[in-house]
Chain A
Amino acid sequence: MAEPEYTVESKCETTEEEKSSSASSEVVIGIDIGTSQCSVAVWNGSEVELLKNTRNQPLIRFDVPVDNDIPLGEVNYHLSHKHERLSGASILNMKRLIGRVDTDRVVHASNNFPFLVQTLDMGARPFIAALVNNVWKSTTPEELLALYLAELRIMAESKLKRPIKDVVLCIPVSFSRIQLTRIERACSIAGLHVLRLMPEPAAVALQYAQQQQHMLRDNTGRVSKRIALVFNMGAGYCDVAVADIDGGVTEIKALSGSEIGGEDLLENMMRHLLPSFDKLDIKSMGSLRVAIQEAIHELSLEESVQIDVDLGNGSRLCKEVKREEFEEVNKFIFCESEILIVECMQNAHVNVEDLTDVIVVGGCSCIPKIRNLVENLCEREIYKGMNPLTAAVYGTALEGALTSGIDDPLGDVDLLTSQVTTLGIGIRANRFEFVPVIPRNTTMPVHKEMIFTTFKDNQTEALIVVYEGESEMEDENHLLGYFKITGIPPALEGVPEINVGMDINASNELSVLARVIIPGSRQPVVPVMELKMPTVDDGHSCCNEVLDRAYGPTLDSMIVRRKNDSI
């Protein structure tokens, strides 16, 4: 009996030691990187506090001016006039460009930016440059994001008077894992360690959960079940989530998202008012952008607005724009947003009657058409009591506190979130098909396995190509990585079993495992392969083609009937 007692003591010691080390661990900050502005927040032990820059702004513009050879973040810096920001020397909208290749639709749509985005349409990284002293200086979105994040970190450190290491960021639902790794890399260059990347609407849902908990505890002490729909439309992305909040657990039921946002509204308006706008020089393009952006903002309040902008060389754009006109020009975008909401409710198996509250946040949330369409679809009024511009960062700060072991003596934050995957993950099989192993909207953590087999007789090798996405054809999805299984014993086609397992932990890290089994034997024939994904980096779409050219279908695998072994 002496032995178990000894075990108890030693185990307890380690746990306590680890506990105390984490109790003294650093504060976790939450950052919301928006397409046009950013914000930082932190849980201070009793509430979420927004951190302001030296100009006392909680929402910080997300532009990086490139000056000579050293780009500067603009966290505290103040450019005298906004036209100066758009003179070609500032890079903006990095969030739309990060981790994308030059065949991407979103990159192509960037030709109205007042800086250079050069695309060669070959599936490689686009060339991005700022105009400094009449020279195009190249840069990358990751590099600029890292610089900017480093400035945000310094700002937070000076406010909180302590070193900051850990961070929770929120990201759009439609971001691929490739883009997530870029964000992580930018963070690590900036000296930040990413604890969690959470989908933006999930962060908003968390703030809602906390508000509800507070409110209901004050009244009855009993928190009843609520189902909320979150619609978040910013400058670059539009996301929807359905969350179920019950007994302190916020369960994300489904997510959907797309790369549409205020930038598209702006581009459509620019094209509508001046079809030849892409022939303008950088300065005039900048002026036009500012003027139309302001007009769109005014149209949220007024029925019509007068645009009058000097385009240089004596030309001028002078026009009255009506709200209906704006809505007509952008009807496709509004229609897309409706589809996202319907799709998300369907995937969550939730009807309109089930919804307790409908939350609309993000920079586009004040556009009357957006509010109308959400209200009509969901058949109820929009939830009040949330700042549409800070809801997401508030949620990230809460999540940061929750995942790091919260300092919560009053029990204010009895919360837990359960997240779902945003895109399906699977492998290529049956020639060009994408076969999802983990479908999207699967609650994490998750392990799933699926059995594949060989494509022809005596096939001794198989290529496992992992993709992420929703299309049925592999080449329309994001390539995450690939590896070859060798040493499959020669046998008739369809006999050897290739068991592909996928595992996503609570921090959304993906690993893919593969083992080869010959029916009748339980042990893998060759050592199991395990890879952390993604393994590919840049230019994943050219990588796709090269893979296909080099191997074609010779190492293909096929789906077989799923087998259920033991319970």
Chain B
Amino acid sequence: MYKTKKLCAPLSTIFRGVLPTTRRLSPYFSNSRIPSLSSHLQSSSRVPPRYALHFLPNSNFSFQNLCSQSAAKLDSSTKRCWNCVADKTGTTPFLYCDSCRSIQPVDLSIDYFQIFGLEKKYEIEVDGLEGKYKDWQKKLHPDLVHSKSEKERGYAAEQSARVIDAYRTLSKPLSRAIYILRLEGVDVDEEQTVSDPELLTEIMEIREAVEEAPDSQALNQIQSKMEEKLEESSNSFVNAYQSRNFDEAVACIQRMTYYQRASEEILKKL
């Protein structure tokens, strides 16, 4: 059991071994410390992931939002502007009051899809996001409220950061998939060890292929294969999500995570 566990190290670890990052300007790739490090970690019963690449936004801004959260909760049924007490009008989510142009406190009941006026589903038109994102920034960016009260400047910082997060999350298939599952109450651990033997074999094969790739053309081929695979798992995610088979959906996400990383690493190597 222990042995398999070691074999099923987090994907990133496996891949890192294959493809050291090629950032030449901060040159560092030393193997000298890593073995002692990992043996040290593995002596404990828990094997924490060594690289939790945190590209996924964290929706929990508990520190900053404590006050605005509670403020929002009090008002969440009525949705009134804190400044001019005008009731919310129209269908746009209430981040900004159109009558007095003041920025509203963060309301966590508005999810990322609502911010962009989208239906809560996985397949969305990614092209439309950017325009809406910039429209929000032109209303919410902290630079624009320089002359307003400290309270509103705080709201601007929170709202603007949340809209940035929402944009980043929804524009990428993988993070969007994880987010939509989270809305269903399903947490996905991207760093979870791979236990699917089929995927494990595949990882090994790709790893070999990348190592033995004679030229950039071969790498390009593997890379486009990764993109295809990503697309495939993305499609199976749609099916799993629609039939509310969340176990399968999580498995799809795991595969997507792997293919995306592999593709990114190959791109770096190219």
Contact = CB atoms under 8 A, between A and B. Distances in A.
16 contacts: A12-B83, A247-B131, A256-B25, A340-B25, A402-B143, A404-B146, A430-B41, A443-B164, A443-B168, A445-B161, A450-B54, A493-B46, A506-B143, A561-B48, A561-B52, A567-B108
B182 interface: yes
Contact of A11 (B52, B83, B190, B191): B83
B267 interface: yes
A446 interface: yes
A403 to B, nearest CB: 5
Given A430-B50, A562-B52, A567-B182, A4 B85 contact: yes
B60 A566 contact: yes
A8 B52 contact: no
B137 A418 contact: yes
Interface string A408-449: 000000001110000000000011110111010001011111
A46 to B, nearest CB: 20
A336 interface: yes
B26 interface: yes
Name which of A505, A506, A566 has the most chain B CB atoms within 10 A of its CB: A506
Given A446-B164, A448-B58, A471-B28, A22 B146 contact: yes
A563 B267 CA distance: 29
**Residue among A416, A515, A562 with the highest chain B CB neighbour number at 10 A:** A562
Contacts of B213: none
B104 to A, nearest CB: 13
Given A449-B63, A471-B26, A559-B52, 9 more contacts: A4-B85, A247-B138, A256-B25, A443-B164, A449-B58, A505-B157, A506-B157, A564-B182, A567-B59
Nearest to A246: B134
A416 B138 contact: yes
Contact of B157 (A14, A18, A251, A445): A445
Nearest to A25: B147
A370 to B, nearest CB: 17
B33 interface: yes
A246 B127 CA distance: 14
A336 B25 CA distance: 8
A405 interface: yes
Contacts of A559: 48-50, 52
B173 interface: no
B147 A447 contact: no
Contacts of A450: 52, 54, 58
B268 interface: yes
B33 A249 contact: no
A562 B267 CA distance: 27
Contacts of A18: 147-149
B130 interface: yes
Interface in A388-409: 402-405
Contacts of B50: 430, 433, 559
A560 interface: yes
B46 A19 contact: no
A505 B41 CA distance: 35
B195 to A, nearest CB: 15
Contacts of B149: 14-15, 18
A435 B143 contact: no
B64 interface: yes
Nearest to B181: A564
B157 A247 contact: no
B125 to A, nearest CB: 16
A476 B27 CA distance: 10
Query: What 3 pairs across the A-B complex have the smallest Cβ distances?
Result: A506-B142, A22-B147, A470-B26
A343 B27 CA distance: 14
A565 B147 contact: no
Nearest to B28: A471
B44 interface: yes
A501 interface: yes
B237 to A, nearest CB: 18
Given A15-B148, A402-B143, A470-B26, A567 B58 contact: no
Nearest to B82: A11
A503 B33 contact: no
A7 B85 contact: yes
Contacts of B142: 445, 505-507
A11 B52 CA distance: 45
A403 B191 contact: no
Interface string B21-54: 0011110101001000100110010101111111
Contacts of A472: 28
